[in-house]
Structure formats: structure tokens, C-alpha cells
Amino acid sequence: LVDYATNRDPAVRLGVAFELRELAELEDAQQALAGLATDSDKRVAEAARHGLVHGGGPLAIPYLGEVIEQTAASGHKLG
């Protein structure tokens, strides 16, 4: 799954980001999500950032504020 994180097709990368969210406690998954968090496709990057925050750990720190603001703006209980 991690190998597909660099696929040329953004739809594939988006699917990988969503699947990796479920495995975010694994180091390999966190590294792949960190790479996808700066993806050129906005949907992929957002899904990866949310996955990192969901999994926790030091790689999520740069994205915590952004995710908190987004969830607060949406009225989600996490915000």
C-alpha cells in the first residue's frame, strides 16, 4: 500500500491516503502520510493530514492547528 503513495494518479493517492488513515499507528504508514500531506492535489493532502492527526505522533504536530480550525469551522465536536 505504501508503494502506491507515489503513484502518478491522484485518485490512487487519495485512496491510499484514506486506507493509510486506518494504519496510521504504523511508522511506515505515518511516513507515507507525511509525504502525501504535501501532495499537489488538495484532496490528497487534506486526507493525509487528517490521517496523521488521527494517528498521532510527532509527524502530526505541524498539522494539528489546521485540523482543529477546520473541524471547529464545520461544527464537529472535535473542534
Nearest to 19 by CA among 28, 9, 29: 29
Neighbours of 40 (CB within 10 A): 8
Question: pTM for the complete prediction?
Answer: 0.80
Residue pLDDT, tens place only, 11-61: 999 999 999 999 988 999 999 999 999 999 999 999 999 889 888 888 888
What's the Cα-to-Cα distance from 59 to each of 6, 19, 73, 76, rounded to whole Å? 18, 18, 23, 23
Look at residue 78 and tell me whether its pLDDT is greater than 70. no
Q: Which helix (H) or strand (E) holds 69?
A: helix 64-74
How sure is the predictor about 65, in pLDDT bands with cuts at 50, 70 and 90? confident
Task: Give CA–CA dist 69/17, Å, rounded.
Answer: 21
